[in-house]
């Protein structure tokens, strides 16, 4: 898929990005699921969780193993309820000096806005299924979510404050509608927000919540026309020459994502920039253990060891943000 006239500054976010707002990391998701009353009433699921702390592995095991339809339903509902709790955490985040996670939300929004460049096709990609950006980015150029006809007066606005279960679910476009969405992305100079693994408030044409979780993620993506288009968009954007990809909060645990990054490092001079509070030794150990990890490591052109509070403290200015502005990322 060819996408021309792309802004070469591209953002990719993972779970660590939402963690700045109190959202749990993958290991912390385990407890939200385990503590579900229905999980506790299912001895087989309870024991499974006690022996595996990777909720994506658990989900795959149950959905593809010898478990009953009732057990699959219980686990799915527990997962959906966990995302509702995550959404409540994000919704309850306060721009307040009394909040230990507080930082300058307006500076954060200005940072997000920097990934938009007029008269180009600009992109933010996320592997998260929460509604963080929809709730917290409301000052700046509003992005489009291709294929999702959201209400612009609610999403990306201070009016987006209803609970997740009160929000209407968005029904994803059919295969027949995908060509129209593809044409919009490839022909119009928009600011695009692409949720590569779906969203907790999306449903398929068959009324199934659409999130990519567990193993065989490429196969799950291929089953949903919009997500397959998103995957193709990700490949098309990164295939442009000299993309500067800023990765925030992603642990490089998804091979289908890493393979695209590596391919474009080798073919198209893609450069990696990392924003994470993790110390460099731990980060280096984590990344080189991955498949093609040494290629990823060798492509890094900037490493910013900060969380959002370090970048945008609530009550004072900081030179840390200037590092990102000056040290050849936005240059």
What's the confidence (pLDDT) of residue 27? 80
Look at the chain and report how many structural domains it folds into.
2
Per-residue model confidence (pLDDT) at position 300: 96
Dist. CA 23–CA 130, nearest whole Å: 9
Would you say residue 4 lies in a domain? no
55 and 118 co-located in one domain: no
The separation between CA 241 and the C-alpha centre of its own chain, rounded to angstroms, equals 23
In a domain, 2, yes or no: no
pLDDT tens per residue, range 84-95: 899 889 988 888
The radius of gyration of the chain from alpha carbons, rounded to an integer in Å, stands at 20
Please indicate, yes or no, if residue 118 is contained in any of the structural domains. yes
Regarding whether 237 and 172 lie in a shared domain, the answer is yes
Neighbours of 258 (CB within 10 A): 19
Give the pLDDT of residue 326: 73
Segment 166-210, tens digit of pLDDT: 556 788 898 889 999 999 999 999 999 999 999 988 888 777 777
pLDDT in the model for residue 327: 62
Residues 211 and 273 in one domain: yes
Predicted pLDDT at 321: 86
What end-to-end distance do the CA atoms of the chain give, in Å? 28
CB 73 within 8 A of CB 5: no
Look at the alpha carbons of 73, 74, 77, 83 in this order and tell me if their dihedral is positive or negative.
negative
Q: Could you tell me if 274 and 304 lie in one domain?
A: yes
Spatial distance between the Cα atoms of 185 and 121, rounded to a whole number of angstroms: 8
Return the pLDDT at 159: 65
Residue-level pLDDT at 91: 86
Write down the pLDDT at residue 108: 94
Give me the residues of the chain with pLDDT under 70, please: 151-153, 159-168, 315-317, 327, 331
Element of type H or E holding 10 = strand 9-13
Domain boundary among 67, 92, 117: 92
Do residue 56 and residue 136 come from a single domain? Answer: no
Domain holding 161, by residue range, is 9-22+97-326
Round to whole Å and give the CA distance between 194 and 143: 10
Q: Are residues 48 and 102 in the same domain?
A: no
Q: Is 149 exposed, middle or buried (0-12, 13-18, 19+ CB in 10 A)?
A: exposed
User: Residues near 184 by Cβ (< 8 Å), separated by ≥ 6?
Assistant: 144, 146, 190
Separation CA 179–CA 232 (nearest Å):
13
Last residue of a domain, one of 38, 64, 92: 92
Predicted local distance difference test score (pLDDT) of residue 153: 67
């Amino acid at each position: 898929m060819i996408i021309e006239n792309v802004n070469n500054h591209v953002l990719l976010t993972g779970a660590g990005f939402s963690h700045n707002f109190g959202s749990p990391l993958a290991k912390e998701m385990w407890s939200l699921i385990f503590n579900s009353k229905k999980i506790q009433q299912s001895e087989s699921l309870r024991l499974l969780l006690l022996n595996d702390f990777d909720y994506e592995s658990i989900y795959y095991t149950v959905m593809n193993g010898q478990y009953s339809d009732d057990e699959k339903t219980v686990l799915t509902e527990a997962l959906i309820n966990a995302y509702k709790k995550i959404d409540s955490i994000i919704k309850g985040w306060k721009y307040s000096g009394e909040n230990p996670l507080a930082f300058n939300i307006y500076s954060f929004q200005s940072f997000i806005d920097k990934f938009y460049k007029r008269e180009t096709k600009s992109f933010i990609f996320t592997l998260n299924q929460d509604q963080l950006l929809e709730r917290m980015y409301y000052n700046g150029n509003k992005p489009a979510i291709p294929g999702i006809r959201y209400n612009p007066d609610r999403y990306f606005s201070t009016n987006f404050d209803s609970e997740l279960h009160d929000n209407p679910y968005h029904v994803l476009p059919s295969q027949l509608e995908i060509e129209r969405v593809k044409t919009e992305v490839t022909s119009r100079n928009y600011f695009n927000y692409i949720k590569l693994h779906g969203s907790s408030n999306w449903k398929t044409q068959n009324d199934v919540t659409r999130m990519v979780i567990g193993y065989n993620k490429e196969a799950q993506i291929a089953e949903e026309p919009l997500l397959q288009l998103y995957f193709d968009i990700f490949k098309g954007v990164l295939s442009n020459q000299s993309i500067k990809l800023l990765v925030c909060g992603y642990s490089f645990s998804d091979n289908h994502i890493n393979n695209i990054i590596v391919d474009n490092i080798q073919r198209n001079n893609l450069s990696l920039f990392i924003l994470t509070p993790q110390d460099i030794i731990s980060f280096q150990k984590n990344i080189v253990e991955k498949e093609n990890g040494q290629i990823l490591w060798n492509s890094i052109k900037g490493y910013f060891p900060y969380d959002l509070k370090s970048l945008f403290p609530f009550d004072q200015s900081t030179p840390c943000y200037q590092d990102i502005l000056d040290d050849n990322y936005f240059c």
